[in-house]
Structure 1
């Protein structure tokens, strides 16, 4: 994994600039990119061949030089998204959180600097080590400006991946600088995240192929670099992070292991946030963990092998996630020791039909905890979650990432078919049993709709159906029986294509749009849709 990721990144590195060329969605000709350059620097230090250390040092210095230094700005201590960008906050480049500047990049870049300091500090000059510590002071102080619900920021403890990174960077920096205020701040914030996790032993940001990977990375830093109660002895006070991280990692992997179907090479739904609908065709950061645990030929989305064919990672969607692989390579050997053996077994071979239930809670978006049920069998999985939230689109308020009900199945050519409910309501009740998905809108009315996104059919050597006029045309499904209070006969079907159609693609994925409406004059009837799926 390390060698393949570095081989690709070597090709897009610009040594004259000390940055990688921009390989990030959307592609930007002639521009460089900051975050991936730092990840690459970690890889250069690990490889340590030729002028690798010199180039890594150049990258680190360049990125830190570009750090935001105005203490009165909301983005103080953050880093440029690309070094050619104009000055944030000017009339020609207005501040726009998560666009012209991204507060989460303090966490992404800060955690990378920590790994390089800890793992490869002996290769770096003392001046660069001092520069890293100075940068981390600015980074963590700037991150303290973030308060959920203030100035357009959404950093609550329930926003799992940046919350875990915040605690890691702040607590680590406080200890390195002997700054009791930073140390205490990191510990206090970590405890808030731990308390929320301990409600259900799940991440609030539940089951994301990308962001679960980030959360596990941050927790690995908690476990590896912050003292546990066992390691603290008398000289160093224990950290709640070092003490709790190993069992949190084990709990997260227990959930992943229960939801993973090795026959489909996918973590079954529902997904709080996703950039794709089949892990064999897009790179999520969890794909790299699965590669580390299973090997390249059995991991989804990266060099996936199917019927003698091979899909290289750079030909899949969201391929820029693979740029983090050199950084993860530094800590994955340690991380995999924290994965329970029973989970490793269920990842390697599907253990057989089972149903998994759990719960997750992400305030303030969730008014009540979300209850999750997923049924898995050899060649199909169905998963969904009941919720009652303040707005449509999950915690991130993004219906394009929010997938509260999902089914996946094995198709005739060995590929994976899928369907997902597109969120249009702030509350949903679900019931999942073998082959059956029941959806109900408790706050719905006669204007409610159920929009089901369905994968387009595979090419399959030219044998796949190009047009879908109903469920009978969806590849891999023998039958879909539809019932509920919707008007079953009034099904509306549209195509959302890369080059046209009746609607837009989502994260570059094409699909068919199956929309069910309520009968006219249905009044106070609770909107419901039931799909009985046979493969």
Structure 2
């Protein structure tokens, strides 16, 4: 009882503006509900391009439901059709949903219980499909149930019960941010809608765990991810719009408001990017691949020239399947933060302590320096080897307006500290190892990286190090995504490898990088 009172008090204080983040922003929140007829020219272009890509002209809906098609994407196509609701859309959405519902695992004794296939063939058995497809089906049921046959709604209801029960058995931790937020909603909604008390209670309890974990450091564990921040925004918008529990609605609105401010604090409107480090990232430059956070910002700003998205189709275009989900949930962003997304205001240094259970320190340290035409950030305390982790990055604007970058991936051996003007790279091992530095700087001769001063398009990077460069090579796009989790639409980037000798003094940086514009 005492714990619940403390949590409720924290929610109330957050809503009243007593948190450090809220003290910096206006109490007013800009909200936007979307319908297909009221979409702007730019928003409608994004929406129509997505549907045209999924249902090419002259192709029947049945012929799009192939054995290789993504069931998650097709669920969102159904959602988009119901959102548009023009001639034939209801019927096509019905056909898609009937196909989706046939491809769920419903054996309660199986670990796969309640998930949908990722595709009919070559199924990846992804347990997160319970939350992804389940939450999209809830939106369809909640907003468009009156457009669909009653028999189909009954099938959706049964599938949702299986998904929520499977999510309960899995019991994903609060630190798996994007999935836990959706899982809490899935269980609370299904448990309440169908009178399954233990599911409802489990959903509310998980929501409290997520809220409580966020309050410890005012950050989510899955920190600064251009892709998964966007999924977390979707989950919080589900709490806001469709949760039955007033507790979930209240927590969702408080977290969503705080979370937008955190995103905007790290976002650089000039560079249309967030600095490193990224705890999960599929690219380095948001203008060269599609990220879900980029979709949210593009809708909010409603202007292609300001949007942190590629101008046309490009790598990770499949993330645009989140567009109908976002449109159906609507926008709720602090008015001051919406304004701050439009233009750069001032340089700043930002540091964060992140509660994160990746291998390494339980609290990981983030430091970032954000200036108008360049920025950098680094991570201290991670020992997990994972290419999705961008331990550090520098972004800058090149003379042609494109973004140049430097990145260091999560190799398990590297720690980074950033001050206002210096990035210091450390090793946490005393055995012989290497440091890989990735650089996108077109038309730069290889010899540049053998010097102390790297004269790159738009910036000079001064490198202070005693290490020797052992390798310089070009990494081409076809190898970049699989090996380095860099999907950016660029022809190549450089990989510069330094050799670190055994018994290196780990209290001293192996290299210091100083940007100069």
Which residue of 2 is the match for residue 118 of structure 1?
142
1:424 and 1:449 in contact (8 A); partners too: no
Residue 126 of structure 1: how far off its partner (Å)? 2.1
Specify whether residues 348 and 281 from structure 1 end up closer, same or farther in structure 2 by C-alpha distance, changes over 3 A only. Answer: same
Which residue of 2 is the match for residue 200 of structure 1?
217
Whether 2:408 is the aligned partner of 1:421: answer yes
Partner residue of 1:9 out of 34, 45, 51: 51
2:454 and 2:463 in contact (8 A); partners too: no
Q: Deviations over 1:452-490 (max 9, x none)?
A: 111141xxxxxx346564166663354322225x42x44
Which residue of 2 is the match for residue 455 of structure 1?
440
Alignment of 1:59-70 (within 5 A): 59-70=96-107
- Greater Cα shift, 122-131 or 42-51: 122-131
Q: Which runs of 5+ in 2 are unaligned?
A: 1-42
1:282 and 1:301 in contact (8 A); partners too: no
Distance 1:163 1:405 in 2: 26
Which residue of 2 is the match for residue 372 of structure 1?
366
Distance 1:505 1:144 in 2: 34
Distance 1:531 1:16 in 2: 55
Residue 367 of structure 1: how far off its partner (Å)? 3.0
Residue 2 of structure 1: how far off its partner (Å)? 4.5
Whether 2:232 is the aligned partner of 1:215: answer yes
Which residue of 2 is the match for residue 152 of structure 1?
none
1:269 and 1:407 in contact (8 A); partners too: yes
Distance 2:363 2:414 in 1: 12
TM-score between both structures, scaled by the size of structure 1: 0.81
Which residue of 2 is the match for residue 329 of structure 1?
327
Whether 2:377 is the aligned partner of 1:392: answer no
Which residue of 1 is the match for residue 514 of structure 2?
532
Distance 2:319 2:455 in 1: 30
Which residue of 2 is the match for residue 514 of structure 1?
496
Alignment of 1:124-273 (within 5 A): 124-147=148-171, 155-227=172-244, 238-273=245-280
Partner residue of 1:281 out of 266, 280, 288: 288
The alignment of Structure 1 onto Structure 2 pairs a total of residues equal to 467
The structure that is helix-richer by fraction is 2
Specify whether residues 432 and 300 from structure 1 end up closer, same or farther in structure 2 by C-alpha distance, changes over 3 A only. Answer: same
Distance 1:204 1:103 in 2: 20
RMSD over aligned Cα atoms: 2.5
2:394 and 2:407 in contact (8 A); partners too: yes
Whether 2:393 is the aligned partner of 1:406: answer yes
- Greater Cα shift, 161-170 or 356-365: 356-365
2:316 and 2:487 in contact (8 A); partners too: no
Residue 525 of structure 1: how far off its partner (Å)? 6.7
Specify whether residues 299 and 145 from structure 1 end up closer, same or farther in structure 2 by C-alpha distance, changes over 3 A only. Answer: farther
Q: Deviations over 1:178-224 (max 9, x none)?
A: 11111011111222222211111211101111111001101110111
Residue 504 of structure 1: how far off its partner (Å)? 5.5
Distance 1:20 1:324 in 2: 18
Whether 2:69 is the aligned partner of 1:32: answer yes
Distance 2:280 2:209 in 1: 22
Greater relative contact order (Cα 8 A, min sep 6): structure 1 or 2? Answer: 2
Partner of 2:388: helix, strand, or coil?
Answer: coil
Specify whether residues 135 and 522 from structure 1 end up closer, same or farther in structure 2 by C-alpha distance, changes over 3 A only. Answer: closer
Q: Deviations over 1:247-302 (max 9, x none)?
A: 11111111111111111111222111111110000000011111111123234453
Partner of 1:292: helix, strand, or coil?
Answer: helix
Residue 129 of structure 1: how far off its partner (Å)? 2.0
Distance 2:375 2:298 in 1: 22
Distance 2:505 2:106 in 1: 58
1:167 and 1:187 in contact (8 A); partners too: yes
Distance 2:114 2:63 in 1: 19
Which residue of 1 is the match for residue 475 of structure 2?
496
